[in-house]
């Protein structure tokens, strides 16, 4: 385990209803597991001491599929209000029960091409107590998740309550943001067409 990792928590955000997908995307097949299972396996392989999963829509259905007792599952009952509520819930929990946390790495459950090595690079780039934010590059110059926030931003993350997540904070503190480029194109899976195309290209070779 990397020394810089010992005080970092990883939070997997998976509370959405997947309306455009038409079914819970968290449970869509991905290889021998599901999209959520793949993401949890990825973050666990890094060796994080603290792994948290925020669920909301279909809480019981999805929660039943998580068999790893070392993962703390949080129930976002306000999930309809958007991604920001999941971030705020996780931060609130960590402030209450994991006061030693110096940074939080937020990961989405629908980015199966984010690798263990890439997340390790994010963690090794992180310098504690320097007000640093590390984000991931998307196409057209956008920044987003996976993203790693220093603890100095926790109080502001607590105030999030809509579907824009922490986007405005990346603009507000742009001088503190470092953006990394993943080895493969960073994308979310939002529609059945997205999923079918990517599954076909990944597993039907």
Strands 143-150 and 71-75: unpaired
Tell me phi and psi for residue 91, to 5 degrees: -65, -45
Per-residue confidence band for 1, with pLDDT thresholds at 50, 70 and 90: very low
Mean pLDDT in residue range 190-205: 86
Q: Note the pLDDT tens digit of each residue in 44-81.
A: 999 887 899 999 999 999 999 998 999 999 999 999 99
Q: Please tell me the least confidently modeled range out of 16-25, 37-46, 79-88, 107-116.
A: 16-25
CA distances from 130 to 34, 67, 91, 95, 153 (A): 36, 36, 19, 19, 11
Per-residue confidence band for 6, with pLDDT thresholds at 50, 70 and 90: low
For residues 103 and 148, the answer to whether their CB atoms sit within 8 Å is yes
Q: Note the pLDDT tens digit of each residue in 160-188.
A: 988 777 888 999 999 999 999 998 877 77
Average pLDDT, the chain: 91
Q: What's the chain's Rg over C-alpha atoms? A: 16
Q: What pLDDT is stored for residue 2 in this prediction?
A: 46
The model's pTM? 0.93
Strands 133-137 and 50-55: unpaired
- Which domains are assigned to the chain? 3-203 (3.90.550.10)
Q: Indicate whether 3 pLDDT > 60.
A: no
Mean pLDDT in residue range 10-16: 96
Q: Indicate whether 99 pLDDT > 90.
A: no
- Whole-number Å distance between alpha carbons of 88 and 98: 15
Nearest to 119 by CA among 53, 46, 188: 46
């Amino acid at each position: 385990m990397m020394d810089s990792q010992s005080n970092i928590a990883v939070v997997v955000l998976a509370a959405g209803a997947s309306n455009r997908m038409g079914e819970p995307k968290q449970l869509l097949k991905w290889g021998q597991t599901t999209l959520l299972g793949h993401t949890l396996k990825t973050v666990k392989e890094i060796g994080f001491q603290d792994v948290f999963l925020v669920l909301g829509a279909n809480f019981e259905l999805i929660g039943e599929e998580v068999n790893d007792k070392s993962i703390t599952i949080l129930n976002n009952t306000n999930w309809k209000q958007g991604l920001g509520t999941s971030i705020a819930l996780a931060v609130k929990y960590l402030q209450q029960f994991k006061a030693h946390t110096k940074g939080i790495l937020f990961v989405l459950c629908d980015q199966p091409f984010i690798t263990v090595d890439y997340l390790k690079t994010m963690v090794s780039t992180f310098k504690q107590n320097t007000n640093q934010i590390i984000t991931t590059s998307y196409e057209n110059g956008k920044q987003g998740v996976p993203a790693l926030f220093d603890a100095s931003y926790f109080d502001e993350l607590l105030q999030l309550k809509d579907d824009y997540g922490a986007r405005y904070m990346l603009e507000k503190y742009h001088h503190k943001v470092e953006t990394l480029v993943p080895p493969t194109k960073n994308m979310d899976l939002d529609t059945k067409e997205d999923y079918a195309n990517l599954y076909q290209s990944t597993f039907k070779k």
